[in-house]
């Protein structure tokens, strides 16, 4: 089940593409965009990540931390980040523990094939650690601008 608006965001502790550990509590005092995506270097995920990359300075100017999370491993994140010049941390949730905590892991279907995976979902977390907004069924091409519009409103 997805965390609800104004509830505390579930705590996490995950390595980034370089093995550096990131904890939600490390970001206390600033807003966080925590976006969950299915898989490194796939079309939708690449579009979404590159749009975040291109808009990164706008997030920094607004004082907002940007973190991507997928069940891919550190090495996969490293390759994905390098290949596309991504300028924000990608967190490796290999056992999908954090995906489960945020309610974004579940049964999916594609071309008649059922499998477990990540539902493309983003959480805007307030500086005091509360869920401020939940974005479900994200459209990769428009998502970064959608968030920036909300942040700047």
pLDDT digits (tens, 9 = 90+) for 11-44: 999 999 999 999 999 999 999 999 999 999 999 9
8 Å CB contact between 15 and 116: no
pLDDT at 73: 98
The residues facing 118 across adjacent strands are 105
Least confident of 19-23, 95-99, 110-114, 121-125: 110-114
In this model, does residue 153 exceed pLDDT 80? no
8 Å CB contact between 35 and 69: yes
Q: What is the pLDDT of residues 58-78, one digit of tens each?
A: 999 999 999 999 999 999 999
Query: Tokens representing 118?
Result: 């990540």
Query: One of 24, 33, 45, 74 is an active-site residue; which one?
Result: 45
pLDDT at 152: 83
Query: Tokens representing 93?
Result: 């949730």
Those residues whose C-beta lies under 8 Å from the C-beta of residue 40, and which sit 6 or more positions away, are 70, 72, 76, 77, 79, 80, 90
Q: What is the pLDDT of residues 79-104, one digit of tens each?
A: 999 999 999 999 999 999 999 999 99
List the domain boundaries for the chain: 34-152
pLDDT at 9: 98
The domain over range 34-152 is classified in CATH as 3.40.50.2000 = no
Q: Distance (Å, rounded) from C-alpha 92 to C-alpha 16?
A: 6
The residues facing 65 across adjacent strands are 32
50 is catalytic: no
pLDDT grade, residue 111 (50/70/90)? Answer: confident
Those residues whose C-beta lies under 8 Å from the C-beta of residue 95, and which sit 6 or more positions away, are 71
Those residues whose C-beta lies under 8 Å from the C-beta of residue 123, and which sit 6 or more positions away, are 3, 9, 32, 33, 34, 35, 102, 131, 133, 134, 135
């Amino acid at each position: 089940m997805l965390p609800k608006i104004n509830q505390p965001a579930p705590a996490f502790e995950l390595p980034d593409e370089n093995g550096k550990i990131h904890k939600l509590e490390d970001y206390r005092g600033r807003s966080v965009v925590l976006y969950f995506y299915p898989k490194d270097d796939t079309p939708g995920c690449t579009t979404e990540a590159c749009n975040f990359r291109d808009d990164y300075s706008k997030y920094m100017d607004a004082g907002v931390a940007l973190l991507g999370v997928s069940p891919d491993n550190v090495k996969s994140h490293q390759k994905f980040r390098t290949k596309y010049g991504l300028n924000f941390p990608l967190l490796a949730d290999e056992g999908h523990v954090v995906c489960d905590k945020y309610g974004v892991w579940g049964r999916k279907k594609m071309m008649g094939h059922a499998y477990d995976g990540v539902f493309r979902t983003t959480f805007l977390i307030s500086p005091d650690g509360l869920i401020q907004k939940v974005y479900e069924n994200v459209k990769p091409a428009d998502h970064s601008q959608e968030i920036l519009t909300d942040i700047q409103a």
